[in-house]
């Protein structure tokens, strides 16, 4: 190895977490930052990963720091203008403006994942090319521990082996993080970097994404087409558990961008048993007679959809280990490793905090670098201590906040709704005693996840206590009445 192999920072993963970290470090004055990303480009379109993000106040902590929130707003549909059209099986429609439960909160913004990643990449291309180099279509093959430092070995698009020796290695490479797995292998008799998993009613649900044309027709009438900034929920005529299905479309700002319809079901749903394009096409036409599906979806898209394996919601999980240090990285004689985003905490999309918690990870890391004057040996232990309880609380919030929203169990969804509105009403009339539901509290970016969970647990305890007291009083009343008789 020679000095030319040494890089100040190597970031594995060029999604929002990786590019956001690169921009944060560059803004702080760091140089020689390499981002390794396996996808071919920032705006690469993957149908089954064409998620929509809602960047809320928590995520905007980082975009504010990077002075990108105004650009984010220009690319997005604000949650203050979120309208949903429900299209029932008989073709009747109902348009609803989703209520803003807490108008004091910052406006959140809806946009496609690819647009958000492209926003970060364009900022790099415009202002930070001297500090940041993004290597697309490049795979991280291996990370070796050699003495008191790590060596990253990657493969370029032309199969050339690339070698880097970073002072700081950032794992922003998701649930299957090669960075976390490398660190885990170095831990003797310790599970600090093994993901701890927890149950959730939404874990294991499978999803596919159907790509639809921009402004596709909703009926045979010429001007009856979709509006890009409108969300849609299209219900099927099927009622059976293994056949009932919905098409869910979230809003886009760009009217020329293809729409994506999310299909989320149990693993034993009939749609996963269909192996031929014609079978899938006939199933969808039969399921949604209220829209002219044959005119909307091309045979090519049906074929792609049929071949796609889709994805599966993961179990809520986290790693208690967040960092590790080899040698003396602050003297360029070692490597510091930090895990951010899905590499350290991953869960189903129930509460919209996947990308926002990752961006908050990066922002808090920035705050601590500021406090420690970019001393990694001081910053990383502080980061783990400050962030660890929030990560645990976040995983618990995912379990309890809104796991029944995918219509898995109508009874459980109704019970959740009752619980939600009881807490909401009580918090309005007795705010000094009761807190709103955790799903509402999460919208308050000024509260940490730990604070939100504590408030939720306190209200649960009070409600349970009142319930026990009520049962005792009723039982006592029945007992006294029976004795009087």
Report the percentage of the chain scoring pLDDT > 90: 88
Name residue, tokens 């660190």: 183
41 with 158, same domain?
yes
Does residue 391 fall inside a structural domain? yes
Domain boundary among 336, 369, 400: 400
Tell me what pLDDT residue 2 has: 40
113 with 190, same domain?
yes
Average pLDDT value over all residues in the chain: 94
Domain boundary among 375, 400, 425: 400
Does residue 86 fall inside a structural domain? no
- Angle at the Cα of 6 from the Cα atoms of 28 and 18, rounded to 5 degrees: 45
Does residue 92 fall inside a structural domain? no
Does residue 233 fall inside a structural domain? yes
Tens of pLDDT, residue by residue over 361-385, are 999 999 999 999 999 999 999 999 9
pTM attached to this predicted model: 0.95
51 with 140, same domain?
yes
Q: What's the CA dihedral at 185, 188, 193, 198 to 10 degrees? A: 120
Work out whether strand 93-97 and strand 83-87 pair parallel, antiparallel, or are unpaired.
antiparallel
- What total number of domains does the chain contain? 3
pLDDT at 5 over 60: no
63 with 132, same domain?
yes
Closest CA to 82 of 251, 257, 254, 253: 251
Q: What values do phi and psi take at 355, rounded to 5?
A: -70, -35
136 with 29, same domain?
yes
Q: What is the CATH number of the domain that holds 55?
A: 3.50.50.60
Tell me what pLDDT residue 364 has: 98
308 with 319, same domain?
no
Does residue 95 fall inside a structural domain? no
Tens of pLDDT, residue by residue over 299-313, are 999 999 999 999 999
Tens of pLDDT, residue by residue over 256-294, are 999 999 999 999 999 999 999 999 999 999 999 999 999
List all residues 6 or more positions away from 465 whose beta carbon is below 8 Å from its beta carbon.
none
CA distance 315 to 251: 27
Tell me what pLDDT residue 7 has: 65
9 with 131, same domain?
yes
pLDDT at 1 over 50: no
Tens of pLDDT, residue by residue over 116-170, are 999 999 999 999 999 999 999 999 999 999 888 999 999 999 999 999 999 999 9
Do 384 and 339 contact (CB within 8 A), yes or no?
Answer: no
54 with 171, same domain?
yes
Average pLDDT on 165-181 reads 97
Tell me what pLDDT residue 101 has: 66
Does residue 405 fall inside a structural domain? no
Confidence of residue 410 (pLDDT cuts 50, 70, 90): confident
User: Sign of the CA dihedral 225, 228, 230, 234?
Assistant: positive
176 with 55, same domain?
yes
Does residue 97 fall inside a structural domain? no
pLDDT at 50 over 90: no
Does residue 101 fall inside a structural domain? no
Tell me what pLDDT residue 485 has: 61
112 with 212, same domain?
no
Q: Give all strands (DSSP E) within 56-185, no chain letters.
A: 77-78, 83-87, 93-97, 109-112, 132-135, 139-146, 149-155, 161-171
**Which H or E run includes 455?**
helix 449-484
210 with 288, same domain?
yes
Residue 340 lies in domain: 3-77+108-198+315-400
423 with 305, same domain?
no
CA distance 479 to 473: 10
Domain boundary among 356, 378, 400: 400
Start-to-end CA distance of the chain, whole Å, equals: 94
CA distance 37 to 470: 58
Name residue, tokens 């981002």: 35
């Amino acid at each position: 190895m020679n000095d030319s192999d040494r890089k100040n920072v190597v970031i594995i993963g060029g999604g929002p977490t990786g590019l956001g970290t690169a921009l944060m470090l560059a803004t702080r004055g760091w140089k020689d930052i390499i981002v390794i990303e396996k996808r071919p480009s920032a705006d690469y379109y993957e149908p089954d990963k064409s998620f929509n993000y809602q960047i809320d106040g928590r995520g905007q902590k980082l975009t504010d720091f990077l002075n990108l929130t105004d650009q984010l707003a220009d690319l997005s549909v604000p949650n203050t203008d979120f309208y949903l059209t429900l299209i029932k099986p008989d073709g009747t429609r109902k348009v609803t403006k989703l209520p803003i439960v807490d108008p004091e909160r910052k406006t959140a913004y809806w946009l496609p994942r690819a647009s958000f990643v492209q926003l970060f990449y364009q900022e790099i291309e415009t202002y930070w090319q001297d500090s940041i180099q993004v290597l697309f279509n490049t795979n991280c093959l291996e990370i070796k521990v050699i003495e008191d430092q790590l060596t990253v070995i990657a493969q370029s698009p032309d199969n050339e082996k690339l070698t880097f020796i970073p002072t700081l290695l950032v794992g922003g490479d998701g649930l299957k993080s090669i960075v976390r797995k490398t660190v885990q292998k170095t831990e003797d008799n310790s599970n600090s970097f093994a993901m701890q998993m927890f149950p959730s009613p939404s874990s294991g649900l499978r999803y596919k994404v159907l790509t639809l044309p921009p402004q596709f027709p909703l009926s045979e009438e010429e001007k009856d087409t979709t509006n890009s900034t409108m969300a849609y929920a299209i219900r099927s005529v099927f009622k059976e558990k293994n056949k009932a299905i919905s098409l869910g479309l979230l809003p886009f700002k760009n009217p020329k961008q293809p729409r994506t319809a999310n299909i989320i079901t149990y693993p034993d749903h009939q749609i996963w048993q269909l192996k031929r394009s014609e079978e899938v096409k006939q199933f969808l036409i039969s399921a949604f007679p209220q829209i002219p599906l044959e005119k909307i979806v091309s045979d090519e898209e049906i074929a792609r959809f049929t071949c796609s394996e889709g994805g599966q919601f993961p179990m809520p999980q986290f790693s208690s280990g967040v960092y590790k240090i080899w040698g003396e990285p602050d003297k360029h004689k070692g490597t510091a490793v930090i895990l951010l985003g899905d590499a350290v905490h991953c869960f189903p999309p129930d509460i919209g905090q996947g990308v926002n918690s990752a961006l908050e990870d990066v922002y808090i890391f920035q705050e601590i670098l500021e406090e420690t004057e970019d001393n990694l040996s001081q910053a990383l232990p502080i980061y783990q201590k400050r962030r660890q309880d929030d990560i645990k609380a976040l995983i618990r919030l995912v379990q309890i906040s809104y796991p029944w929203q995918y219509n898995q169990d109508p009874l459980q969804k109704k019970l959740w709704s009752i619980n939600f509105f009881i807490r909401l009403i009580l918090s309005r009339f007795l705010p000094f005693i009761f807190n709103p539901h955790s799903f509402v509290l999460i919208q308050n970016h000024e509260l940490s996840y730990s604070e939100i969970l504590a408030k939720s647990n306190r209200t649960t305890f009070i409600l349970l206590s009142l319930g026990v007291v009520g049962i005792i009083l009723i039982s006592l009343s029945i007992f006294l009445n029976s004795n009087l008789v």
